[in-house]
Structure 1
Amino acid sequence: MADWISRDDRLPVPVTAYGPLHLLARHVHRLSDTGQAHEAITAADAYLVIARIVRDEKSVRFLIQGKMYALLALGRVNEAYPLAIALLHSQRAAGSVLGEAKALCDLARIHLLGGHYVDCMRNLARAGVLLGTAPAETDRHRSALCSFATAATAAELYEAAAGAYEQLRHSTSSFDLVHAVTLLYWGLRLAHVGRSEEARSRLRRSAEITRAWLETDPDPTITAMHALALAKLGETTVAEKLARSVIMELRAGGSHQYARMAHLALGISLRAHGFPQEARREFIAARDLTEEGSRPDERPIIRFELALTALDLDSGQASRDLFETVEGQVRELWRLRLQRLAMLRQARQREETEAARARAEREILRDPLTGLGNRRRFDLLIGAVSPAREAPLTLLLIDLDHFKAVNDIHSHSVGDLALREVAAILRAHCRQGDEAVRYAGDEFVIFLGGDAEAGSEVGERIRMAVAEADILTDLHMTVSVGVATWSSGMTGEQLFQAADSRLYAAKWSGRNTTAA
């Protein structure tokens, strides 16, 4: 491949963070996003066969995700659940922190649909902690954070969703409008439970975002959002005009959510202007459109506005009883929402405590000079080698040649530099599942998940890499490597003794040698 590249700068396939078949996976996602769920499932099943044959694991995960989204769109939650679990395990096995966070968010949505709120909040909390540890300002981080915001929105956790969208807005304006929608519904719900000042704060922020967009993009969906915020803020004359201008276009275009917003804005404005009967018709029109699918928080919002309008139409006992009933339901739903929010915060605290404990344990098992595992970590790993294990395991015991002379001639600080350089080389040659540790002063061990041939190849590559490395201008190091492979019935101690005897042979053969 290197020779081929040297003759031509082009690569045979585009290099991306996704697998070579990612365009097939994108096609599945596009079908799911555009309402073609059945077609998405059929395509995903066909493409998965191809991706598995060519072992394109990244595309396999992306395809499973697309199929899961399509199943959720069809309400087939029970079929989506095992896919979400498989995806989570796959992302963990691949060591993808952001992939795991995104899978946890998707799983949280599924638990929410099933009414399993404890599991939902636990997964969301875990995802939030992982997102906090991963590098930000990347496409993968934005994608995972967007999934977190989507799941939080579905659970009506406006605080968490708005916080996530606020983070996303710092890197791109693409999330401005979903942030404005979150603030809008949050403000409406706050108004309905009597928290007027908090409601106005959210509604004003939503109106500011949509007003800025309307200056350059007079889109009817943005207009509907802006009209609803203004109507609830009391700017009903402008809100009525804006809502009337887009209702029919939104209905004709199938933009049901935004058509509902326009009907709500018009209804609130008409009621404020003294036309409760006309307002009632608008709210009923909004309610009828929920049959096409709606957010979980839209129905209580519409129901409250209808009950408030019924009170305007008739202040008799029946209307007062109806309003009190609806108001009680709205407050109960809000109480349950706050309960979920408390569950999320408690789960987040537990996850953060667990993460801190895990970090402390890792520090105990980490060599401070090289960043590799230390002798304590080695003891744990070698002690876990079972005589009845099934997976292949090869031990590489690596010793720096004439290291004492380096300390004596160049100083201990240079010796530390050499150790760090060698550790970096070992780390670079470890694959997923392999682990390097500093066993003693200038001795290192690699636990390699592979057979004797793989161990010999890795050992020889490490030996050559160290020999070619420039530690200092006048300092070149070499290493001797002993390689031993586990066989049935062998204990960890026996495996280490076998590797130690190979290392001894490498030393006696003249050093700078790999003995297997």
Structure 2
Amino acid sequence: MTAVPAVPTPRGQVRERPGRELVPAQFGLLDPLTDIAHGYYLDGFSDDAVTACRMWAVLADAVDDVVTSRYLLYIQAVALLELGRYGDAVDVAAQLIDSLDGADEPVWRAKALAATAEASTRLARPSAAIAALAEADWLVRSVPSGTYGHLSASMALALALRSANLVERSDEVLSRLDGLGDALVEVLIIQELALLSAHWATVLSLIGRREEARRHYADTARRALRMQACARLADSPSMVARGEVIEAFAMLHLGDTELAAARARGAAGRFDARPELMESHLLLLVLGTSAARGGDLLGARLHLRALVRDAEGCGREVWAMAGRAALADVDTLQHGEAEGTVLWREVAQTALASVWAEREARFAALRDQDSIRDLTERADRYGRDILEDPLTGLGNRRMLTRALKGQVGDSVIFVDVDEFQA
């Protein structure tokens, strides 16, 4: 682990969040510290991000910088998710919610709930995950689009939806976003879209739906190319390289093994392939699969075993299963199709297909939660409407009666006779 600076000296360029000039009230006095912590997280140094957030939270609390404290809690929560420390992530997200103290803060509540939902999914707590997801989704809709708050909360929601395999809704949320004029944020949005397509295609491949998977591999390639173009505009060579790895992954599955391997090897030295990064999993899968197809079975096993180890360490079961499936292919190349390998494939495919099929129940649960909230909101609105005069918008006789009944002791009520409707 690298040393975490006690003063705002970033690892690379400081990643300014979009909208700073438009909505300065959304950022605290010590906001540069959150830029650095977020940079650690983006670059795969999640341990450093957690350490920095905990250390700098003490400083933010000491100067009563509430906004910076909230950012540090959120960054800490998502970094813990990347480290596979899901229980800790739930605890930190709960701290963030508690810090709101009942205030009407839909953006912060949505982000904290999204982190809670993702952690709950990983902890096999589907009821808690769906409840948190549904509320986060509802809250995001109440945030004005075209603002940093909407962008930030939507990104958090999309990642939580992906973790629950609700990929269609995740794709819908991400596809509506833009970077608000910030080139690096555009990169991050299209990166998540490309990784979502890669995840989607991989699951479909693993459960045997190869024709559907091929369409999503094509989407992955298209989005990876767009990511590279945006990264060049943002002057981010490491993001260009990560985009090339995603492109190589798509090319591998679209049938161009040699070009995919060359593309992956060329990109490997231009970014720090930390085990927390999704692109690191894709890189190992491309190198391992291409080595196997080229006859280097030992090299293939080394890459693929590293993939399984890293993916399991981060709690990414889809990528761990993809690594195991590729290792089974290597065994088949070396020893032929063994009965045990065939049985393993059938069991693994059935298990993943069952998990994938559960998405329908999750979609239904989200719709039910939305319907309940919609009915509650409508009832509240109707309740308010019957207490107002439709012409003037002022309180009517019912409101007067309620006000009088609610008074304790002496009181005075002023009524504008000219406007009051009998």
User: TM-score normalized by structure 1?
Assistant: 0.63
Aligned to 1:206: 220
Q: Which residue of 2 aligns with 1:185?
A: 199
Give the match's secondary structure for 2:177.
Answer: helix
Mapping of residues 63-78 of structure 1, within 5 Å: 63-69=72-78, 77-78=86-87
Are the structure 2 counterparts of residues 329 and 31 from structure 1 closer, same or farther at C-alpha, using a change threshold of 3 Å? same
Query: 2:82, 2:276 within 8 Å by CA — same for their partners in 1?
Result: no
Moved over 6 A (4+): 251-255, 384-387
1:396-455 superposed Cα distances (whole Å, 9 cap, x missing partner): 84433xx53xxxxxxxxxxxxxx6xxxxxxxxxxxxxxxxxxxx539xxxxxxxxxxxxx
Q: CA deviation at 1:353?
A: 1.5
Residue 353 of structure 1 pairs with residue 371 of structure 2? yes
Cα-to-partner distance string for 1:180-231 (whole Å, 9 max, x where unaligned): 0110121011012111121011110110121234457472211111111010
Per-residue deviation at 1:274? 6.0
Q: Which moved more, 1:198-207 or 1:235-244?
A: 235-244
* 2:350 is the counterpart of 1:336: no
- 1:363 pairs, out of 382, 386, 395, with 382
CA positional deviation for 1:298: 1.1
For 1:43, the equivalent position in structure 2 comes to: 56
Kept in 1: contact 2:312–2:320 (CA 8 A): no
> What's 2:25 paired with?
17
**Is the aligned partner of 1:313 residue 2:331?**
no
CA 1:106/1:223 → structure 2, altered by over 3 Å: closer, same or farther?
A: same
Structure 1: distance between partners of 2:26 and 2:218: 40
The residue matched to 2:248 in structure 1 has which SS? helix
Aligned to 2:253: 232
Tell whether 2:399 aligns with 1:399.
no
Is 1:441 the counterpart of 2:421? The answer is yes
Question: What is the CA-CA distance between 1:98 and the residue it aligns to?
Answer: 2.7
Contact 1:104 1:123 in 2 (8 A): yes
Determine if the alignment matches structure 1 residue 325 to structure 2 residue 334.
Answer: no
Pair 1:370–1:251, CA change in 2 (3 A): same
- For 1:359-392, what per-residue CA distance to the aligned partner results, in whole angstroms no more than 9, with x for missing partners? 32112322344557765566667766789xxxxx
Q: Provide the C-alpha distance between the structure 1 equivalents of 2:75 and 2:404, rounded to a whole number of angstroms.
A: 41
Structure 2: gaps (5+ residues): 1-21
CA contact (8 A) 1:40 1:66 kept: yes
Paired AA for residue 52 in structure 2: E
- Higher relative CO (Cα under 8 Å, sequence separation at least 6) belongs to 2
Query: Where is the strand percentage greater, Structure 1 or Structure 2?
Result: 1
Compared CA separation, residues 74 and 198, structure 1 to 2 (3 A): closer
In structure 2, the partner of 1:144 is 153
Q: 1:283: Cα distance to partner?
A: 2.2
Q: TM-score, with normalisation over the residues of structure 2?
A: 0.76
Cα deviation 1:54-106 (Å, max 9, x = unaligned): xx544454444345456656666555545433533554722123332222212
Evaluate the alpha carbon distance shift between residue 87 and residue 99 of structure 1 in structure 2; reply closer, same or farther with a 3 A threshold: same
2:289 to 268, 272, 275: 268
Amino acid paired to 1:338: A
**For structure 1, which segment, 40-49 or 298-307, has the greater mean C-alpha deviation from structure 2 after superposition?**
40-49
Structure number with greater Rg is 1
Distance in 2 separating the partners of 1:150 and 1:45: 28
Q: Is 1:110 equivalent to 2:119 in the alignment?
A: yes
Tell me the secondary structure at the aligned position of residue 415 of structure 2: strand
Identity %, equivalent residues: 22
- For structure 1, the residue ranges without an aligned partner over 5 or more in a row are 1-13, 388-393, 405-418, 420-439, 443-516
Structure 2 contact 28–66 (Cα < 8 Å) conserved: no
The answer to whether the aligner puts 1:130 opposite 2:151 as a matched pair is no
For residues 363 and 77 of structure 1, the distance between their equivalents in structure 2, rounded to whole angstroms, comes to 41
Q: Give 1:445-464 correspondences, 5 Å limit.
A: none
